[in-house]
Structures are given as structure tokens and as C-alpha cells.
Amino acid sequence: MSIASLAPRADFPLLAANPAMHYLDSAATSQKPAAMLNALRHFYETSNANPHRGAYALSALATDAYHDARATIARFVGVADADCLIFTRGTTESMNLVASSWGGAHVGPGDEIVVSALEHHANFVPWQQLALRTGATLRIVELTATQTIDLDMLRDVVGARTKIVAITHVSNAVGSITPLHDVVRIVRARSAAVIVVDGAQAVPHLAVNFDALDIDFYAFSGHKLLGPMGIGVLVGRRKLLEAMAPYQFGGDMIEWVRDTDSTWNVLPHKFEAGTPNAADAVALAAAVRYLDGLGMAQVRAHEIALLEAAEARVRALPGVTVYGPPPTQRSGVLSFSLADVHPHDLATILDQHGVCIRAGHHCAQPLMRRLGVSATARASFYVYSDGRDVDALIGALTAAQQLFATVD
């Protein structure tokens, strides 16, 4: 197939060193460009000091690098007030932060928390557990036949008792893109609920503008958008963040410590306890600049082209079921099952052909139950994917079918 990669494979050291590898698990974690890796190394070689703590030039250099990284990432996701961008360890911690700090203070018996059946566990379990702790009711919005959020049911579920609506922007398991503007319009018309959005699968693939979305919190992870593991982001409205209690204590989040009580630093430091993860922030900013150079519109167009081509060929194989809406309503995710072949067995066979896919419940067990399966196989494309990856996927699937037909 002639579809070229959007980003040169040579920009990604691991892929360049393994030309026979077809990496189709980018929804789990992306491969890393040299630009990001170089930025990480450069920080440690030239700027390694503790930000905000030292009165010497090297510490000031680290502080400036950390500050500039925050500003770069804020611009990338449309946040005018960069101090409302909080660095966390990832989407999971960001959701737990909101559930603990905002939810713990505002949710009680008789209140309702709304999630969807599409959610990753990171945007399901924190709200489930908050409901159990507080006596609130967890309401689950079901899905359409193509695994998109049922907006009609959302209208019925959201009401005066709704305190939180936690929704995914893009499904990690089937790639469905949530029409956030429709969700926000429905929620705002029916309640004063806080809207929390899991953007882990959206920010790497779509142009995101937090300030234009009219939501309250938005979270994403660095490692899915060409950045390092161990860093993520929570963006929130200033009014809400300033009113929230800290999630963790110690280090730079403190203003004054008296013998009997303490006061807290200003945003964003109030929610960034301990030594800042400055190096990974700098590296994530480099990853963001790399994506900016490609253009997010081009990223989206590239993934749709690959997904349409791959899906058409996968559907032509006997015994295949594809999940999710049409490719134009999905991220670069192709989730499917092959009759009578467990996804784990399928992934093992594909790996022998150099094709890396994900098999399992994708941390979305409520969704799997609604699909009537325990697991799916998932191929996910990104900027370094090309037509050869699609060819390899189809070739490996065909070989797997032949193998299992022989075994039967």
C-alpha cells in the first residue's frame, strides 16, 4: 500500500533500529522521536537543578525551562491561563485528583455522578469509588449500536442532582470520538454539574482547545503523544482549582508551615507536591513542538486514511467483527475480533510476523461486557504508521486464519 508515514520513521530511534517491526499499539503508548529524547538528555546535561529552590544560576535555568514547558503545552491544548495547567503523573492521577479534591468536598448522599459505558477504568473507577464513599449514585450512560455515547440517554440521566459528568473525549478501546460540544450543551441545560473529560486518547490525535470547550477539567498523558512516561496534565478552571484542597502535601505546594497548621502556594504549585518533574515536562514540550510541526489537521487526515484502508481490508477477511463507528468518527484505532480465535492467541501469532497489536479488555471491562466479549484485538495507528504496516497487519491476520484453520 502506498500511504506514506506522516513523520519519518528515521525520527524514531526504536523504529529506525527495527525496520521489520510494525508497531500498531500506539493507543497504549507512542514511540518516541529523537527530538523528545534529545530534549530530555539536554535538560539533564545542561540544566539539572531543582526548580524554584535555588538562588543560583543553574536552578534559575531549570526554573525557566520548567516554566517554558508549561507555557508550550498550555498553548498546544488551548489554555490561555498556563497556571491552570497542573503537571501530574498521568491521566489516572489527574482523575483521582479531581475525584478526591473536588468530589470529596462537593458530593454527598442523594447526589449523582454520571459516566458512560465507554470509559477507561481511570475515568470510571475513581467516580465509582467516590459514589461508594459518599453515598452518591453512579449513573451510567449506555451506548449506541456503534459504541458511541447515547446522547438521548444522557439527556434523560442528567438532572438537578447531577454533580459530576465524567466523559471520555476519545475511547481507547474502540476509538469513538465523543461529540463534546453536544455533551456540554446537554449537561449545561440540565444541571450545574462539573464536567470532567478524559483526553488521553484525544490530545495525540485531535486539535484540542480547552478554553473553547466550556468544560471544567481536562486530563491527558504525555506518553501517548510522543512524550515520556510518568508525566501527565490536568487542566482546570481557575475558580475551581483555587477553591479545591490540595491532593498531596509537601515540597513546593506549601506557602507557610506553622506548628498547628499550614497554608498553600498559588496555582499551579498547590497541586504539584514534591520535586517538580521538570525534565519530563521539558521533554513533553519538545514532543508537543514536534506534533505542532506536523500539524494536528495533518495528523488527523493521515490516521483517517490509514484507518479507512485497514478497515476495508480487515472487514474483507472471513469471520471478522469490527467495533466502533465509521473511521471518520474514530481515532486511529481498529478494534476487532476474529471468530473462534482468542485475541491473546491472535496477538501472539501476529507478533511472530513482526506486528505489534494490543489484545485484552483495554482497561474497559464495562464496555467489553456490553460488546458481549471478554477482549478484542486492537491495532492503533499514529504519525509514523504507513501503508506497509497495514500490509503487514493483513498478511499476518491471513496467516493466523490459515494456521487456526489447519489446527481445527
Return the amino acid letter for 364: A
Return the residue matching grid coordinates 539533564.
44
Classified as helix, coil or strand, 150 is coil
Enter the DSSP assignment of 275.
Answer: S
Residues 198 and 288: their CA atoms lie apart, in Å, by 18
Cβ–Cβ under 8 Å, residues 238 and 110: no
Residues in the chain: 408
Handedness of CA 78, 81, 84, 85 (dihedral sign): positive
Phi, psi of 113 (to 5 degrees): -120, 130
Q: Which three cell numbers stand for residue 261?
A: 497548621
Number of neighbours of residue 9 by Cβ within 10 angstroms = 19
Strand partners, 238: none
Q: Catalytic residue among 234, 363, 392, 394, which?
A: 363
State yes or no: is 363 an active-site residue: yes
Return the amino acid letter for 171: S
Known catalytic residues are 363
